[in-house]
Amino acid sequence: MARVRADPVTTALAHPTRRALYLTLAQTGEMSTVQLQGQVDVERYNLYHHLKKLATLGLIENHRDVGRARWWKKLAHVELPELLSMGAETLPRVAQSHDQTISAPLPEGLADQLRNDSEIHILHLEGSRDQIGAKRVLQLLAEDHGIELNLPWNFLPDSIALIAKKK
């Protein structure tokens, strides 16, 4: 798959852990690594990986060390859509189908078509690079076909369902 080039700050903040770290620091002023780990609920190794990425982009910094504790603070302000600053409990719930979430009602007749004469393939995407690339491909296809596709900027697909008519 070809690499999709995007703004590195947008790409970094599209990752849910990095976004959570950045928003937490933006709201609190400064936090130690241990405090951040408790807030974001991520393993220490992964935490340092994400903090390092945000620091490399100049979004946060390790501004002081006290003993073995590292203290972090927000360095640069990034305008994020208001939706990102809300907690998960304030987001609207969407219809549930078994263990999957459907974000919009199915078009009329699609459910019958899926049961009767369709072949379905599921592409499971691994990692944020695949997810961002897949989102960009979907956006380009929508543009090419004149389809209005209003995905939030932080939408990252975990998988894509391909539906074809059986021959």
* Residue among 5, 2, 53, 16 at smallest CA distance from 128: 16
The pLDDT of residue 103: 44
Q: Both tokens of residue 83?
A: 């939706």
Give yes or no for residue 1 having a pLDDT over 60.
Answer: no
Could you tell me the pLDDT band of residue 93, with boundaries at 50, 70 and 90?
Answer: very low
Average predicted confidence (pLDDT) for the chain: 75
Write the pLDDT tens digit of every residue in 105-157: 566 776 676 667 677 777 888 777 778 888 888 888 888 888 888 887 777 78
Cβ within 8 Å of residue 77, ≥6 positions away: 26
Pick the residue with more confidence: 51 or 116? Answer: 51
Could you tell me the pLDDT band of residue 6, with boundaries at 50, 70 and 90?
Answer: low
Cβ within 8 Å of residue 88, ≥6 positions away: none
The pLDDT of residue 113: 67
**Once rounded to an integer, what is the mean pLDDT over residues 20-46?**
89
* Residue among 108, 123, 124 at smallest CA distance from 163: 123
Give yes or no for residue 61 having a pLDDT over 90.
Answer: yes
Q: Which residue reads 């006290």 in tokens?
A: 66
**Domains, in order of start, for the chain:** 8-83 (1.10.10.10), 106-165 (no CATH)
Angle between helices 16-28 and 44-56 (to 10 degrees): 70
Could you tell me the pLDDT band of residue 4, with boundaries at 50, 70 and 90?
Answer: low
Q: What's the predicted TM-score (pTM) here?
A: 0.50
Of the candidate ranges 29-38, 101-110, 154-163, the one whose mean pLDDT is the lowest: 101-110
DSSP annotation of 57: T
Alpha-carbon distance of 166 to 117, in angstroms, equals 6
